[in-house]
């Protein structure tokens, strides 16, 4: 990417897209294009095509998606499969038709089989059954990968796909009903401390293990891949280490400074037991995560507290 190339960040208000946009701005890219979903509904193929035709876009970061935690995936499975299939189909097709030079499609590690060996290597894709709690979302993401690969094969496009592990960072979703575990626990422990509650409920058994990648690290990896990776095969983005939900809860409790109890609720599903990605491929290509979980959590909690003060 040259500094004057026109670069479209789809999903710039979300956790991932906003981090990519900040990184591009910091690196001096000058011709950045973005639209909120009320200005451009990517589920609408006509609007999407018209937007691409109007703007002569060189590069696309496809970070627009309907995302959510375990409860949201369970409650709105139709929305997750439909919206994601529509958004990615419209953007990929429009990018092909308007001769976009390169597109980066962002998937997720839930594309890997529920019981795949750990750490998850890229070649485990489509070797077994998916985790049922987010299967519709995962199927949409797998379709996106296959679309990119098929367009490359048939039309000679350069559409690459990256699979980030669980992420956190600024602009995360802190809504307890729809969020992922890390922002949910920050909010729960913070509110329990403020309101002097005796305990905090953590869903599931606390035994599942998850890996957490800061969105600034992810953004750096995305720019790195856009500039250096050409292959159709997927690439994992992660830190290469995971922790249990119990350990995460204890860490967040300490950072927040809450001294009540943690109560697990095993009647809520655990989801997949573990999803640690193998990062050997991206490390070999020359990129490594830099932000440790303790520092990342502290910075996210500081930002959350600032927002909370502003709201009061
Ligand atoms: P997943 O990684 O796709 O399973 O999505 P989540 O981030 O929503 O959940 C990760 C794990 O954290 C699951 O085992 C959840 O049951 C567990 N968990 C514990 N407490 C919470 C919570 O308050 N919210 C969410 N979303 N997950 C929680």
Domain limits, the chain: 7-171+211-240+276-291
| Nearest residue by C-alpha to atom 15 in ligand 1 | 270
Token code pair at residue 71: 């409860």
Query: pLDDT value at position 83?
Result: 98
210 Cβ inside 6 Å of ligand 1: yes
Q: Which residue has the least CA distance to atom 10 on ligand 1?
A: 181
How many A from CA of 51 to the centre of ligand 1?
Answer: 36
Task: Please tell me the predicted confidence (pLDDT) of residue 277.
Answer: 96
Residue having the nearest C-alpha atom to atom 12 of ligand 1: 181
C-alpha of residue 204 to centroid of ligand 1, in Å: 8
Q: Which fold has domain 7-171+211-240+276-291?
A: Rossmann fold (3.40.50)
* SS3 annotation, the chain: CCCCCEEEEECCCCHHHHHHHHHHHHCCCCEEECCCCCCCCCCCHHHHHHHHHHHCCCEEEECCCCCCCHHHHHHCHHHHHHHHHHHHHHHHHHHHHCCCCEEEEECCHHHCCCCCCCCECHHHCCCCCCCHHHHHHHHHHHHHHHHHHHHHHHHCCCEEEEEECEEECCCCCCCCCCCCHHHHHHHHHHHHHHCCCCEEEEECCCCCEECEEEHHHHHHHHHHHHHHCCCCCCEEECCCCCEEHHHHHHHHHHHHCCCCEEEEECCCCCCCCECCECCHHHHHHCCCCCCCHHHHHHHHHHHHHHHHHHHC
- Rounded distance, CA 104 to CA 28, Å? 19
Q: What pLDDT is recorded for position 307?
A: 83
> What is the per-residue pLDDT for 312?
60
Q: Tokens 């987010």 map to which residue?
A: 134
136 lines ligand 1 (CB under 6 A): no
Give the residue whose CA is nearest to atom 22 of ligand 1: 181
Q: State the closest ligand 1 atom to the C-alpha of 179, by its place in the atom list counted from 1.
A: 26
pLDDT at 70: 86
Q: Is 135 in the pocket of ligand 1 (CB under 6 A)?
A: no
Q: What value, to the nearest 5°, has the Cα angle with vertex 8 and ends 5 and 9? A: 130
Annotated catalytic, 137?
yes
Q: Measured at the alpha carbon of residue 219, what is the angle toward residues 277 and 181, in degrees to the nearest 5?
A: 55
> Is 11 near ligand 1, meaning CB less than 6 Å away?
no
Q: Is the CB of 106 under 6 A from ligand 1?
A: no
**∠ at Cα 188 (134, 296), nearest 5°?**
75
Best of 15, 70, 262, 273 to mutate for ligand 1, by most ligand atoms within 8 A of CB?
Answer: 70
What contacts 298, CB < 8 A, 6 or more positions away?
A: 255
Q: Which of 8, 137, 151, 229 is catalytic?
A: 137
Q: pLDDT tens digits, the chain, 312 residues: what are they?
A: 999 999 999 999 999 999 999 999 999 999 999 999 999 999 999 999 999 999 999 999 999 999 998 889 999 999 999 999 999 999 999 999 999 999 999 999 999 999 999 999 999 999 999 999 899 999 999 999 999 999 999 999 999 999 999 999 988 999 999 999 999 999 999 999 999 999 999 999 999 999 999 999 999 999 999 999 999 999 999 999 999 999 999 999 999 999 999 999 999 999 889 999 999 999 999 999 999 999 999 999 999 998 876 666
pTM of the model: 0.94
């Amino acid at each position: 990417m040259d500094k004057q190339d026109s670069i479209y960040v789809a999903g710039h208000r979300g956790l991932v897209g906003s981090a990519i946009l900040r990184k591009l701005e910091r690196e001096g890219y000058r011709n950045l294009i973005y639209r909120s979903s009320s200005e451009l509904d990517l589920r609408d193929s006509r609007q999407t095509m018209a937007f691409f035709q109007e703007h002569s876009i060189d590069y696309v970061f496809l970070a627009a998606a309907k995302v959510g935690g375990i409860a949201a995936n369970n409650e709105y499975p139709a929305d997750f499969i439909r919206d994601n299939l529509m958004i990615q189909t419209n953007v990929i097709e429009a990018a092909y038709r308007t001769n976009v030079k390169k597109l980066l499609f962002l998937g997720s590690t839930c594309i890997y089989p529920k019981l795949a060996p750990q750490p998850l290597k890229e070649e485990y894709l489509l070797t077994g059954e998916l985790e049922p709690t987010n299967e519709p979302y995962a199927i949409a993401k797998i379709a996106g990968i296959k679309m990119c690969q098929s367009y490359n094969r048939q039309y000679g496009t350069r559409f690459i796909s990256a699979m980030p592990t669980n992420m956190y960072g600024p602009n995360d979703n802190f809504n307890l009903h729809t969020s992922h575990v890390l922002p949910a626990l920050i909010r729960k422990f913070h509110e329990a401390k403020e309101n002097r509650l005796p305990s905090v409920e953590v869903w599931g058994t606390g035994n599942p293990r998850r890996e957490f990648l800061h969105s600034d690290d992810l953004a750096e990896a995305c720019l790195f891949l856009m500039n250096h990776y050409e292959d159709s095969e997927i690439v994992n983005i992660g830190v290469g280490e995971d922790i249990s939900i119990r350990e995460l809860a204890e860490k967040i409790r300490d950072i927040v400074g809450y001294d009540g109890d943690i109560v697990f609720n095993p009647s809520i599903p655990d989801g997949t037991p573990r999803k640690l990605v193998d990062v050997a491929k991206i490390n070999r290509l020359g990129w490594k995560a830099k932000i440790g979980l303790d520092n990342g959590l502290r910075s996210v909690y500081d930002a959350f507290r600032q927002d909370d003060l502003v709201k009061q």
